[in-house]
Chains A and B, each alone.
Chain A
Amino acid sequence: MSTRYETVIGLETHIELKTETKAFCSCAVEFGAEPNTHCCPVCTGMPGALPVLNAKAVEFAVKAGLLLHCRVSLRSKLDRKNYYYPDLPKAYQISQYDQPICTGGWLEIPSGGGTKRIRIERLHLEEDAGKLIHGEGGTLLDCNRCGVPLIEIVTMPDFRSAEEVTAYLQLLRERIRFAGLSDCRMNEGSLRCDVNLSIRPLGSHALGERAELKNLNSFQFAAKAIAYEERRQAAVLDAGGALFPETRGFDEGTGETFPMRRKESQSDYRFFPEPDLPPIVLTQEQVARWASELPELPDVLRERWRATYGVNRETAEALTVTRAAAEAFERAAALTRFPKLLATLLAADPARLAEGEIPVSAEHLAALSDLLGEKTIGSGTAKELLALLWKEDQDPREAVGRLGLGKITDRAVLEPLTREILADSPRAAADYRAGKKAALQSLLGQAMRRTQGRADPDVTRELFLASLQAEPRKEE
């Protein structure tokens, strides 16, 4: 885009809360279930059915607000947002209008080598709509998603680039996920983001006419849509044209945004206080308790692990994939003499870590990394043992003894082995003597294979070298 303009972006992010039941009834929240299997008179808007607020949804919304440094309102209310759409059974959405549950927070994102604070204007609680399934025979309505609790997080127009937007979304997703409040899966719609974008001449402080970009189903698409929209708006202004407020969609195929509707015709949602639900009243104690239940933030944990254990960034990121994984590492790291080894060992299988609860006790994880650090076992054996512990938690020291997995350091055992290998591999021995030092690795590899990884590499190497150097070179 032209360097004569500055981009100004604000975000509205919707996140589905991972409560067990819906916001106003006791139907289960489950993505991907058979259509219309999780619905009842309340969430399908049957006559006379009444909503009752799920206390868990309030708790999750407040916790999300606390993660974003928001002020929590001890008294807030729910309002009706009225509009007709076939996926909205009551023809109004229960939302929060002028008294949101959380206001005024911020999130600090990495930006240009430093950090930048993105201000959060508000965070409010509302309900999701159903899903329309368009087919040849007509359109079908799936009410499973009707009434799933959502939070909407509105930022101030503080972003200046797609990179900042992506950084914010990544950090937001990580925190919300880490606290167990949502899965934040953009492809499943549990995290949805609308981008409000305008441009203005560099140095100007006035805001330009903004376009609201919708249907952004991944971080990548959000970045692409922003890049396209910056260029489009600049081109309009450069050509002497005028921009107007509008809503635009994003075409994943062409990477372009396209007009959906102009904002002047914006509907009046006729908000008014939801008469079926009393105001949400919280106590200071309740909020304090919820705050105390929140985990330490993943970025804080990573920094501490780096400083105290020397754990590198990639490893630490794998360990903060879930709160359960991070907490399991924290507990075990305090019990072992080799926390960094433990970190590397756990991070080696990130998919398993992400599964959920960690089925191995901290004591056993610590014992395992002690065995590795003391060189009683090698790293291959450690990985095998970890897999074993994952299936059935047990004391790794006992398992090593019972399964005979300890490292072999006994020269009386290893020396005959190295001789045997040298005899079987005259070629490798010759190569080594001819100066190809890499041949030693292949000899070591064979020793490992023949001992299922239990041969002590230092002792074995020493024995190979002794043999190779002792035998006279035939050419001479």
Chain B
Amino acid sequence: MDKVCGMTALGLSAALRRRELSAREAALACLARMEEREPQLHAYLTVSRDEALAEADAADRRLAAGEPLSPLDGVPMAVKDNLCTKGVRTTCASRMLEGFVPPYDAEAVSRLGRAGAVLLGKTNLDEFAMGSDTGTSAFGPTANPIDPSRVPGGSSGGSAAAVAAGEALFALGSDTGGSVRQPAALCGVVGLRPTYGRISRYGLVGFGPSLDQVGLVTKDARDCAAVLAATAGFDPHDATSSRQSPGAYLDGIGDGVRGMRAALVRESLAEAEPCVRRELLRAVAKLESLGARVDELSLPFLKDMLPAYHILGSAEASSNLARFDGVRYGFRASGVSDWRQLIRESRSRGFGLEVKRRILLGTFVLTKEQRDAYEKARRLRRKTASSMAAALSYYDFLLLPTSPEVAWKRGEKRDPVAMYRSDLFVVPASIAGLPAVSVPFGEENGLPVGVQLVGRAFGERELLRAACAVEEGRA
């Protein structure tokens, strides 16, 4: 068990091909790890053991025949519970979707299925992915595997915890405003938010369609490249997915950063905790020693992006979550006398506090009276996107911390605004639709720190090459 659970996805893949172990053994190892750690971690909401073993057996037959579907054939994975899985309940960690079993797979999930990856189960999240510590889940919080008294980050906290704990070799998450990168940083794993449109959003129960992206949680940059290769690409069912062909993400991933130009975002230093600042500067020194040039760059409106993000994200959420009305599926309030009451009561009882807060905020900013704030946020978004694109026409990537701090104690942040503030550095890439990756670099009292690299639109290949160098330069 320990052997499998400590492997990378590509490491396991090689072992499977050499038949040193079977896909069934790999799945069983992760399931055994779950039995050991889940009572404490609660990373999973649903474990589909029987289906997983059946899929693993099918992978073993292909591997035995020497006909694996892809490098991920037989590799066990976890999927955030806001990505639809055909025949497996999908709750978004909300009472609202209790008992909802989708009749279709999310496109990213079906692509991984076609690649042979084995779905172990569905991971916990903040309700409807709204939160930063997986504390708003209607089914209870998830703990950080490194220190279970601390949060795993969020909203893809279940996915990050599962990968960090060896309960899956990689996981899918979603990243609207940092929901993959921030928990990856807090749990000491790699988290990638690809360029907007790189992975289909079909089947992702997102909340802000112009910001949502399917994200990846992996053990290292190479795994990330392999999973991206399996999931990226145009999908005719997502009108916002890109027709640009995916890159050969693994090719030259170990070629290093010599000659690359990076920019450290100056404002981020002042906003980060000292330990995070220290590790970020150490990463800069490391990159320089590896032959990259690192300049400082100012993004003066960095702090304005957070409110802009919350205005835009909540506005879209208020509309996107309106379909949960108790009429066609999911939770329906009983004891109501007319349709208005049915909708009102189903939503009042089905949604949790944070979701209601954002629906109210979003509804408010879209009213005629508050229109200025919404339009201002849209303008700021365009400004952010164009100034970041301008910087990236010269620099290969931007450097920022992922989270301003290391994993905090569970229950510590009760003020929602303090919680929102933890997304300060992850929101800019979301707003600009750019790819960004968080890589573990250093630690503070045993708690991991992540550094964030933001790349050019559809420049995931170069971005992961740089991430790989940071990763290999750590220690």
B83 within 8 A of A: yes
- Given A47-B100, A52-B237: A84 and B367 within 8 A (CB)? no
How close is B406's CB to chain A, nearest CB, in angstroms? Answer: 33
Flag if B203 contacts A48 (CB, 8 Å).
yes
Flag if A270 contacts B239 (CB, 8 Å).
no
Flag if B327 contacts A141 (CB, 8 Å).
yes
Q: Which of B104, B203, B322, B340 contacts A92 (CB 8 A)?
A: B322
- Given A47-B90, A47-B97, A275-B209: A84 and B239 within 8 A (CB)? no
Interface string of B333-377 (1 = CB under 8 A from A): 000000110110000000000000000000100111000001000
Q: Which of B208, B238, B323, B329 contacts A50 (CB 8 A)?
A: B238
A247 within 8 A of B: no
Q: Is the interface of B mostly helix, strand, loop or mixed?
A: loop
Interface residues of B in 100-114 (CB under 8 A from A): 100, 102-104, 106
Q: Which of A53, A91, A268 contacts B323 (CB 8 A)?
A: A91
How close is B197's CB to chain A, nearest CB, in angstroms? Answer: 10
Flag if A45 contacts B92 (CB, 8 Å).
no
- Given A48-B202, A50-B201, A275-B210: A270 and B367 within 8 A (CB)? yes
Q: Please report the C-alpha to C-alpha distance between residue A276 and residue B235 in the assembled complex, in whole angstroms.
A: 13
How close is B121's CB to chain A, nearest CB, in angstroms? Answer: 18
Flag if B84 contacts A47 (CB, 8 Å).
yes
How close is A406's CB to chain B, nearest CB, in angstroms? Answer: 61
Interface string of B181-204 (1 = CB under 8 A from A): 000000000000000000001111
- Given A84-B343, A276-B239: A46 and B102 within 8 A (CB)? yes
Flag if A48 contacts B328 (CB, 8 Å).
no
Q: Please report the C-alpha to C-alpha distance between residue A86 and residue B347 in the assembled complex, in whole angstroms.
A: 14
Chain A residues touching B, range: 20 to 34
Interface residues of B in 229-269 (CB under 8 A from A): 236-240
Flag if A48 contacts B84 (CB, 8 Å).
yes
- Given A47-B100, A92-B319: A268 and B240 within 8 A (CB)? no
How close is A422's CB to chain B, nearest CB, in angstroms? Answer: 80
Closest to B324 in A: A47
Q: Please report the C-alpha to C-alpha distance between residue A52 and residue B234 in the assembled complex, in whole angstroms.
A: 13
Which of chain B's residues have a CB closer than 8 A to the CB of A275?
A: 208-210, 240, 316
A104 within 8 A of B: no
A-B Cβ contacts below 8 A, count = 98
In the complex, which of the residues A47, A82, A268, A277 has the most CB atoms of chain B within 10 Å of its own CB atom? A47
- Given A141-B328, A272-B315: A82 and B240 within 8 A (CB)? no
Which of chain A's residues have a CB closer than 8 A to the CB of B368?
A: 268
Q: Please report the C-alpha to C-alpha distance between residue A410 and residue B103 in the assembled complex, in whole angstroms.
A: 78
A359 within 8 A of B: no
In the complex, which of the residues A48, A84, A86, A276 has the most CB atoms of chain B within 10 Å of its own CB atom? A48
In the complex, which of the residues A45, A50, A276 has the most CB atoms of chain B within 10 Å of its own CB atom? A50
Q: Please report the C-alpha to C-alpha distance between residue A268 and residue B369 in the assembled complex, in whole angstroms.
A: 10
Q: Please report the C-alpha to C-alpha distance between residue A278 and residue B102 in the assembled complex, in whole angstroms.
A: 26
How close is A361's CB to chain B, nearest CB, in angstroms? Answer: 40
Which of chain A's residues have a CB closer than 8 A to the CB of B206?
A: 48
Q: Please report the C-alpha to C-alpha distance between residue A71 and residue B104 in the assembled complex, in whole angstroms.
A: 41
Flag if B316 contacts A50 (CB, 8 Å).
no
Flag if A139 contacts B339 (CB, 8 Å).
yes
Q: Please report the C-alpha to C-alpha distance between residue A141 and residue B202 in the assembled complex, in whole angstroms.
A: 25
Which of chain B's residues have a CB closer than 8 A to the CB of A41?
A: 102-104
B205 within 8 A of A: yes
Q: Please report the C-alpha to C-alpha distance between residue A394 and residue B239 in the assembled complex, in whole angstroms.
A: 50
Flag if A90 contacts B323 (CB, 8 Å).
yes
Q: Please report the C-alpha to C-alpha distance between residue A92 and residue B317 in the assembled complex, in whole angstroms.
A: 12
Flag if B239 contacts A53 (CB, 8 Å).
yes
Interface residues of A in 237-275 (CB under 8 A from B): 268, 270, 272, 275
Flag if B240 contacts A278 (CB, 8 Å).
yes
Q: Please report the C-alpha to C-alpha distance between residue A139 and residue B336 in the assembled complex, in whole angstroms.
A: 14
In the complex, which of the residues B318, B319, B324, B366 has the most CB atoms of chain A within 10 Å of its own CB atom? B319
How close is B69's CB to chain A, nearest CB, in angstroms? Answer: 24
Flag if A82 contacts B102 (CB, 8 Å).
no
A14 within 8 A of B: no
Q: Please report the C-alpha to C-alpha distance between residue A272 and residue B320 in the assembled complex, in whole angstroms.
A: 12
Q: Which of B83, B203, B322, B374 contacts A272 (CB 8 A)?
A: B374
How close is B359's CB to chain A, nearest CB, in angstroms? Answer: 11
Q: Please report the C-alpha to C-alpha distance between residue A47 and residue B98 in the assembled complex, in whole angstroms.
A: 13
How close is B212's CB to chain A, nearest CB, in angstroms? Answer: 9
Which of chain A's residues have a CB closer than 8 A to the CB of B460?
A: none
Which of chain A's residues have a CB closer than 8 A to the CB of B367?
A: 268, 270
Q: Please report the C-alpha to C-alpha distance between residue A139 and residue B239 in the assembled complex, in whole angstroms.
A: 34
How close is A44's CB to chain B, nearest CB, in angstroms? Answer: 6
Q: What 3 pairs across the A-B complex have the smallest Cβ distances?
A: A91-B322, A275-B210, A270-B366
Q: List 26 A-B contacts (CB under 8 A).
A: A41-B104, A46-B103, A47-B92, A47-B97, A48-B83, A48-B201, A50-B202, A50-B237, A82-B318, A82-B319, A86-B339, A89-B327, A91-B319, A91-B323, A91-B325, A139-B339, A268-B367, A270-B318, A270-B319, A272-B319, A272-B366, A275-B209, A275-B210, A275-B316, A276-B239, A278-B240
Enumerate chain A interface residues (CB-CB to B < 8 A). 41, 44-53, 80, 82, 84, 86, 89-92, 139, 141, 268, 270, 272, 275-278
